[in-house]
Structure 1
Amino acid sequence: MRAKAFSSEEEAGSRQKSAPNRESRTLFRFNRNGTGFRGPIAYIALYAALYAAFGVASPFWPKYFETRALNPEQIGVILATALLVRLVAGPLVGTLADFLQSLRLVLAACATLAAASAAALLWADGFWLLLLVASVQAAALAPTTSIADALSVNASRPQMAGRPFEYGWIRGSASAAFVCGTLIIGQLVSPTDLSRVIWLNAALLIAAAGATALVPAVAAQSTPHTGASNVASEIRTLLGIARFRILILVSALIYGSHAVHDAFAVIRWSNAGIDTFVVSMLWSEAVAAEVIVFVLVGPALLNRFGARDAAALAAVAGIVRWSIAATTNSVVALAMVQPLHGLTFALLHLACMRMIGSLVPAHLAATAQALYAFGAGAVTAALTLFSGFFYAGYGGGAFLAMAVLCGVALPLAWSGFADTRESSSHAA
């Protein structure tokens, strides 16, 4: 239930529901003109190429940098810098795409630049040059998913009974492509030669750039620009909600606890003698669990237990997951805890979305999402930076620090997250 302070804002939100009518009529004309069937296929091609490129490369970037004679501290600096660059570049390039009213062109340009910078990593030598090229690639990749989502969500907006496709179909194909990319590359590379990671990543990004030409254009919707003073007022309003502040803190702690895993799990497993194919299987297992929780398990848990219990369960899963990761490299043990990623990431994200929908007035939803993403991203970047020093000094013990973060998040989630089972049932 929303606070009384926002009762008048609910009326404003209801008045806004009629605003998309012009857009929905435009989209319906777009679908009737013969491009409706092409739309889903084009978007699936775009997302499959884009997320397969992520699946091919993201698990192996730390190991690739290690093969270039970088130490753990330097790897941590590169990965943390890339995260910080994404935090800045994502909204900036997204705003540019809106300003130019050419989302497909900007997306294609970003994918092409990311492919070129990936190839440049093969010839980059030394820490500073690798840092520069990796930062350029991070800036190019940052807006790709958000722009793709802006295109697909607009096209699949459920405003007409005859809508041609659901956004979930596309996002599901993206996750499947990520898993396939990780599994395939695990069979093509060796621990000492990861050049095929670079080439396949670049090729898939070029394919994604080409797929933007197949994506149907969606009619632009003009929206009034908000002044800087109004933006500041909205942020103050949101941060004045105590439970929203706790939501940002809890999500930042639990998402941030993935920093050591994302940066050094592959290195730790490879140094323990685990084969690259097994490494890719372990990584893909986590992603598959994420998909299952998003689609099937998560909504059922939320409806049965509410957002508070779901967030608390995510924190407990993090404590268990990182404690075991700190103490063993047994493939059997790792295979048992990797599915907990479905709880530490996907279930928490669903709980946060349920909380935001319950606490935040409709006209502040976008600002709330931006604060939510920025908080998690900033903390993850900082922890990634320090993870290099933790791992260099303590090895697997660095995972215990991540378990402590989840332990701190647990009582905050229990006391600060609302039980939204009743309020969500009344949501529009």
Structure 2
Amino acid sequence: MPYARLSSYYFFHFAALGALVPFWGPYLLERGFEPVAIGGLMAILMGTKIVAPNLFGAVADRRGERMPIVRLGALMALLSFCAVFWSEGVWLMALTMAIWSFFWNGPLPLMEAVTFNHLGARVSRYAQVRVWGSIGFILVVLGVGWWQQQAGSGVVPIAVLVLFGGIWLSVLVIPDRPPGDRSSGERSQDHDEGEPEPSLVRHLLRRREILFFLAACLLMQASHGAYYAFYSIHLEAAGYSQSAVGALWALGVAIEVLVFLRMHWLLERFSAHALLLVSLALAVLRWLMIGFLVEILALQIIAQTLHAATFGVFHASAIHLAHCYFPGPTQGRGQAAYNSIGFGAGGALGSLSSGLLWSGAGAAWTYVAAAGFAALGFVAVLLSKRRHLGAGL
């Protein structure tokens, strides 16, 4: 298995996320954009995940190969991002962000499928590859936080451009891997071997447990909208320095790294369904702590450690379920559905709603709404009718 090459992709992809998520909002604010506009622009980053993963996944599943499409997407993201430096005004910035985020978001679910195919029977070890994404995020958050404090927010797009270049170089050396044979225990019990793949995908998406699973993913990511769009702004308004903001972001992901390293142990001992419930419950607590107790550093440290659960445990459990729910030739579209509905529709909903609430209702009630999304996600998981799809589900 090309462990180092797979890990390098996750390193650069999530390092770029580390330059974007904590610092893009303050960068846009410094360029003169209003909070409502920032919420809308951040929603574009999430919204392209609705279309791009499905389009990339459909093309890859139809062609029977993934890496050539991943490489094209990485190159187009790198080239189109250059327009950020000359984009003035909300509409031009929106168009620019829509283009480069489309090509940046599209390849990720294909890489998830390729990674799982390389892992084969060792799917519980996925987190040990994915952890390098968290390491990249931490290093960039700390580095860009320090650099931004020295030189201003103009360094943020420079950092993102360099990291997009790293993504493109990393995918050039990753070999493709078609879906392998799935054991009978891993197959969906509703899977008909003779059923055409597009029809099978539609059939899978009508299943009760999959619908509730995807709804929970959407709601969890919607709950993160205020965090991704306004957490840095919220901290700076409360008096935290840019270095402290970067350190708090890095802390959350550092604790997440420890979870990823032990995620295979958790999945071998607890069901992915139970881990989703715990993650959603802790998300409710986390958003209320951020919304109402931002001035208390000790509680913000605790809130950031909960990122290990609200993102790390949730994502690893969810992607494990998505891999099992969508077998064989449906892998690309299955991972695309998880990414587009959860990170795409959910992230866009969270960013838009938080942007609207921030100026009107205020920060505290924006995070109350985030906690409400997570609580609804908890209910969605409880309402799902689980069926036996394999061990650890």
TM-score class, shorter: 0.7 to 0.9
- After superposition, residues 325-340 of structure 1 pair within 5 angstroms as 325-330=290-295, 331-340=297-306
What are the Cα deviations for residues 87-120 of structure 1, in whole angstroms up to 9, with x where unaligned? Answer: 2123323544666777555444433432333332
Q: Percent of aligned positions with the same letter in both sequences?
A: 23
TM-score, scaled to structure 2: 0.81
Secondary structure of the corresponding residue to residue 69 of structure 1? coil
1:304 positional shift: 4.7
The residue that corresponds to 1:177 in the other structure is 136
Would the aligned equivalents of 1:259 and 1:383 in 2 still touch at CA under 8 Å? yes
User: Is structure 2 residue 356 aligned with structure 1 residue 389?
Assistant: yes
Q: Deviations over 1:339-368 (max 9, x none)?
A: 21222223233444565677x474586355
1:111·1:208 contact (CA, 8 Å) conserved in 2? yes
1:416 corresponds to which residue?
Answer: 384
Call closer, same or farther: CA 1:253–1:182 in 2, change over 3 Å.
same
Aligned partners of 1:308 and 1:93: how far apart in 2?
Answer: 28
- Is 1:113 equivalent to 2:81 in the alignment? no
**Aligned equivalent of 2:53:** 90
Deviation string, structure 1 residues 287-309 (Cα, Å, up to 9, x no partner): 2233322331x455555553454
2:169 is matched with: 210
Output the CA distance in 2 between the equivalents of 1:246 and 1:61: 32
| 8 Å Cα contact 1:309/1:414 also seen in 2 | no
CA distance 1:89–1:191, change in 2 (3 Å): farther
> In 2, distance between residues paired with 1:186 and 1:75?
20
1:119 alignment partner AA: C
Partner deviation per Cα, 1:292-349 (whole Å, 9 max, x = no partner) = 22331x4555555534543332222111111111112232211111121222223233
Task: State the match for 2:149 in structure 1.
Answer: 190
The answer as to 2:242 corresponding to 1:279 is no
Q: Do the aligned partners of residues 261 and 192 (structure 1) sit closer, same or farther apart at CA in structure 2, a change above 3 Å counting?
A: farther
Match in the other structure for 1:201: 160
**TM-aligned CA distance change 1:191 to 1:392, over 3 Å:** farther
Contact residue 323 and residue 334 of structure 2 kept, 8 A? no
Q: Distance in 2 between matches of 1:386 and 1:157?
A: 40
Distance in 2 separating the partners of 1:363 and 1:98: 10
Deviation of 1:133 (Å): 1.0
Higher relative contact order (CA 8 A, sep 6+): 2
Task: Supply the RMSD in Å over aligned alpha carbons.
Answer: 3.5
Structure 1 residue 379 corresponds to structure 2 residue 330: no
Letter in 2 for 1:379: G
Instruction: Give the distance between the partners of 1:262 and 1:153, measured in 2 at CA.
Output: 27
Q: Give matches, 1:142-291, under 5 Å.
A: 142-157=105-120, 168-190=127-149, 193-215=152-174, 217-218=175-176, 230=196, 233-291=199-257
SS in 1 for 2:165: helix
**1:60 is matched with which residue: 10, 20, 23?**
23
Which residue of 2 is the match for residue 406 of structure 1?
Answer: 374
The answer to whether the 8 A contact 1:55-1:181 is kept is: yes
In 2, Cα distance between equivalents of 1:47 and 1:62: 23
The 1:254/1:194 distance shift into structure 2, 3 A limit, reads: same
1:306 pairs with 250, 254, 271, which one?
271
Is 1:311–1:414's contact at 8 Å kept on the other side of the alignment? no
Q: What is the CA deviation profile of residues 145-178 of structure 1, one whole-angstrom value per residue up to 9, with x for unaligned ones?
A: 334445544455459xxxxxx7655422222112
- For 1:1-58, what per-residue CA distance to the aligned partner results, in whole angstroms no more than 9, with x for missing partners? xxxxxxxxxxxxxxxxxxxxxxxxxxxxxxxxxxx8xx44444444433332222223
Q: Could you say what secondary structure the match of 1:138 adopts?
A: helix
Contact 1:322/1:400, CA 8 A, preserved across alignment: yes
Does structure 1 conserve the Cα–Cα contact (< 8 Å) formed by 2:14 and 2:134?
yes
Bigger shift: residues 59-68 or 114-123: 114-123
Structure 1, 264-273 or 229-238: larger mean CA deviation: 229-238
What's the counterpart of residue 70 of structure 1?
33
C-alpha separation in 2, matches of 1:221 and 1:361: 11
Segment drifting more, 48-57 vs 122-131? 48-57
- Output the CA distance in 2 between the equivalents of 1:58 and 1:361: 30
SS at match of 2:149: coil
Residue of structure 1 equivalent to 2:288: 323
Residue of 76, 79, 87 corresponding to 2:42: 79
Contact 2:220/2:346 (<8 A) preserved: no
> Which residue identity is paired with 1:144?
P
Cα distance change on mapping 1:357 and 1:180 into 2, 3 Å: closer
Distance 1:238 1:66, change over 3 A: same
Deviation, structure 1 residue 390: 0.8
**What is the one-letter code of the residue matched to 1:347?**
V
How many residue pairs get aligned? The number is 375
State the partner residue of 2:186: none
Q: Structure 2 stretches of 5 or more lacking a match?
A: 182-194
SS at match of 1:238: helix
**Counterpart contact for 1:156–1:167, Cα < 8 Å:** yes
Pair member with larger Rg = 1
C-alpha distance in 1, partners of 2:73/2:81? 12
Q: Which amino acid aligns with 1:410?
A: F
Q: Report SS of the residue matched to 2:290.
A: helix
Deviations 1:249-305 (A, max 9, x none): 222222221111111111111222211111111112222233322331x45555555
* 1:125 equivalent among 88, 94, 107: 88
CA distance 1:304–1:106, change in 2 (3 Å): closer
Amino acid corresponding to residue 135 of structure 2 in structure 1: A
Secondary structure of 1:59's match?
coil
Q: Amino acid of the residue matched to residue 56 of structure 2? A: V
Q: Aligned partners of 1:181 and 1:282: how far apart in 2?
A: 13
Q: Is the 8 A contact 2:64 2:178 kept in 1?
A: yes
**Residues 132 and 370 of structure 1, relative CA distance in 2, 3 Å threshold:** closer
